[in-house]
Chain A
Amino acid sequence: ILNVEQSPQSLHVQEGDSTNFTCSFPSSNFYALHWYRWETAKSPEALFVMTLNGDEKKKGRISATLNTKEGYSYLYIKGSQPEDSATYLCAFPRSNDMRFGAGTRLTVKP
């Protein structure tokens, strides 16, 4: 059974705050870990695909780290802006099967 857990379920922050959330996944037979950003009424869009233990990836104010040995990944947003409001999904592929977490819904208040 592939269980991908994300926490917290939702998060409300003020504009300018930095924030982070967690994705937990099975640590055995690791292939990759994906992060997606999903804005309301749109489709999920890829942020990062991470494949190596210790990987750190960055895109603007968003960054992610990966620990495959203990089975977790963190997503960080520095200086949150209202346009960062979205649901952030992580996904764990195993062979041809992709399992998504339920997501963390981030709301950034101006």
Chain B
Amino acid sequence: NAGVTQTPKFQVLKTGQSMTLQCAQDMNHEYMSWYRQDPGMGLRLIHYSVGAGITDQGEVPNGYNVSRSTTEDFPLRLLSAAPSQTSVYFCASSLNSGGNTEAFFGQGTRLTVV
């Protein structure tokens, strides 16, 4: 059982470049989310989805787009990378929305924007 698979593990981008972080889960989870982790701060929610075709903004959505065309996949797109987006990114999934089921996390992506 693969759980939550997130790629790539590491990425270096130049300012202005675009890229997509991939996230897939095989647990038939309804809820998927993206977080960023910055030093001294907790994980901050970027975007989330409560099911295929439904996405919404979290705490820090600016500069990021998401889509959820299938239950399994929830990619995160950086349209024009900025140095402020240098961070560690985590994808997570939960059985359902509402917060009463545990989150399963991907391996993380360390992104550096130069």
Contacts and interface: CB of A to CB of B under 8 A. Distances in A.
A99 B59 contact: yes
Interface in B39-68: 40-45, 48, 50, 56, 58-59
Interface of B: 31, 33, 35, 40-45, 48, 50, 56, 58-59, 90, 97-108
Interface stretch (A63-71, A73-81, A89-97): A89-97
Give chain A's interface residue range (CB within 8 Å of chain B): 20 to 34
Contacts of A32: 99-100
Nearest to A6: B42
A43 B89 CA distance: 11
Contact of B50 (A46, A89, A91, A96): A96
Contact of A96 (B42, B98, B106, B108): B98
A7 to B, nearest CB: 13
Contacts of B44: 100
Contact of B99 (A46, A98, A103): A98
Contacts of B105: 43-45
- The 4 tightest CB contacts between A and B, nearest first, are A93-B99, A100-B42, A46-B102, A43-B105
Nearest to A103: B42
Main secondary structure of the interface of B (DSSP, over half): loop
A65 to B, nearest CB: 18
Contacts of A94: 99
A51 B59 contact: no
Given A32-B99, A44-B105, A93-B99, A99 B42 contact: yes
A46 B43 CA distance: 14
A91 B33 CA distance: 14
20 contacts: A31-B99, A34-B99, A43-B90, A44-B105, A45-B105, A49-B101, A89-B43, A91-B42, A91-B103, A93-B100, A94-B99, A95-B97, A96-B98, A96-B99, A97-B58, A98-B103, A99-B42, A100-B44, A101-B42, A102-B41
Contacts of A91: 42-43, 103
